[in-house]
Amino acid sequence: MKVDLIAAGTRMTEAADLARQVRDGGWSGIAFAEGGRTAYLSCGAAALAVPELDYTTAVALAFPRSPMTTAGIAWELAEASGGRFALGLGSQVRAHIERRYSASFDPPGPRLREYVLALRAIFRAFQGIEKLDFHGEYYTFTLFNQQWSPGRMAHPDIPIYISAVGPWMLRMAGEVCDGIHIHPFHSVGYLNDVVLPKVAEGAARANRDSTDIKLAIPCMTVVGDTEEDRQRAAARTRQQIAFYGSTKNYAPVLAHHGYGELSPRFNDAIKAGDSEAAVALVSDEMLEQYAVVSTWDELSDRIIERYQAMADRLVLYFTFADWRRDPTTLARWSEVARDVIARTGVTPD
């Protein structure tokens, strides 16, 4: 496995320094999330300063941007990083797309599938392989002159990952994508019973080998040297589980383990502003299902046991929040990252 740090809300001015510390810590790369700040600009700032790392958006929102706009950004980032950039896209939820971005959302699955296909066509046009002549139900691209081309480059085959939770998106990813950014709210059972079979179904539909679809898997953790440390870490993870559990899109992940009745209860508590009630619904058993619970000395072992059979990239979920609170904490997370990388047979380029 490769091991990445995920960063959210990164300022461009801190991206380069973060990348240097991640490189020096022996990590594989950085996954930049998009929230209040764009993921693309941080990728660019980091890649220019530290080209040795892998970079991805995990994830950038697709629908508020035209595929042509996204393709142009991805092309420049792939070029700037020497081919070490992977484009990660997500659909988000209806409320954000329609009310925050005033963009079209329906139907999210078919629209995102066509978005990916449009990107491929645009990339081929950028590289001069074929004339741009893409006709879809949601996107059409037929006008493209060389004066608007970013020019050919040495790394035109930009990997496209999508975020996917439900069966339809998972099958679609298996059919047309290079990889999946697995949602942080998952369990090994859900990955084995739902994710992998649905990806394989989609791959078979396109006569692809399902092992060619790479999985980048974020790992929530409850880690500490003492029981007091672990209780503090558990409180943070319970809060994250409650937040994700309140979203109906992720209800199947709860239902898979018999917690389906908790989804509306999480939602009611979150809407009422009662975070304590929401957190109280997360049992110790749920923590074990949805997070790695461990001491620091055993964390690498637990991660490898849990994910080595399926993860191509392991993303340590809480590292960036700890780094922002106290930069010295990165050293301990880096020890874990280096150990997992070394023991799973992957070394940074």
Tell me the domain boundaries of the chain. 2-221+294-343
Instruction: Give me the pLDDT at residue 346, please.
Output: 62
Instruction: Give me the pLDDT at residue 128, please.
Output: 95
For the record, the structure tokens of 76 come out as: 């420049």
How many CB atoms lie under 10 A from the CB of residue 151? 10
Q: Residue 226 burial by CB count (10 A; 0-12/13-18/19+): exposed, middle or buried? A: exposed
How many CB atoms lie under 10 A from the CB of residue 273? 9
CATH architecture of 2-221+294-343: Alpha-Beta Barrel (3.20)
C-alpha 77/C-alpha 80 separation (Å) is 5
Tell me how far the alpha carbon of residue 106 is from its chain's centroid.
22
C-alpha 168/C-alpha 183 separation (Å) is 15
At 4 the three-state DSSP class reads strand
Task: Measure CA of the first residue to CA of the last residue in the chain; give whole Å.
Answer: 13
Instruction: Give me the pLDDT at residue 345, please.
Output: 84
Instruction: Give me the pLDDT at residue 348, please.
Output: 45
C-alpha 175/C-alpha 183 separation (Å) is 19
| Residue 276 contacts residue 227 (beta carbons within 8 Å) | no
For the record, the structure tokens of 38 come out as: 């764009």
Amino acid letter for position 189 = G
Instruction: Give me the pLDDT at residue 239, please.
Output: 96
Sign of CA dihedral 98, 104, 109, 112: negative
Q: Which residues lie closer than 8 Å to 258 by C-beta, 6 or more apart?
A: none
Q: What is the pLDDT along the chain (349 residues), one digit of tens a residue?
A: 999 999 999 999 999 999 999 999 999 999 999 988 999 999 999 999 999 999 999 999 999 999 999 999 999 999 999 999 999 999 999 999 999 999 999 999 999 999 999 999 999 999 999 999 999 999 999 999 888 899 999 999 999 999 999 999 999 999 999 999 999 999 999 999 999 999 999 999 999 999 999 999 999 999 999 999 999 999 999 999 999 999 988 999 999 999 999 999 999 999 999 999 999 999 999 999 999 999 999 999 999 999 999 999 999 999 999 999 999 999 999 999 999 999 998 654 5
Instruction: Give me the pLDDT at residue 118, please.
Output: 98
Q: What is the pTM of this model?
A: 0.95
Q: Which residues pair with 222 in a beta bridge?
A: 293
Q: Which residues pair with 60 in a beta bridge?
A: 89
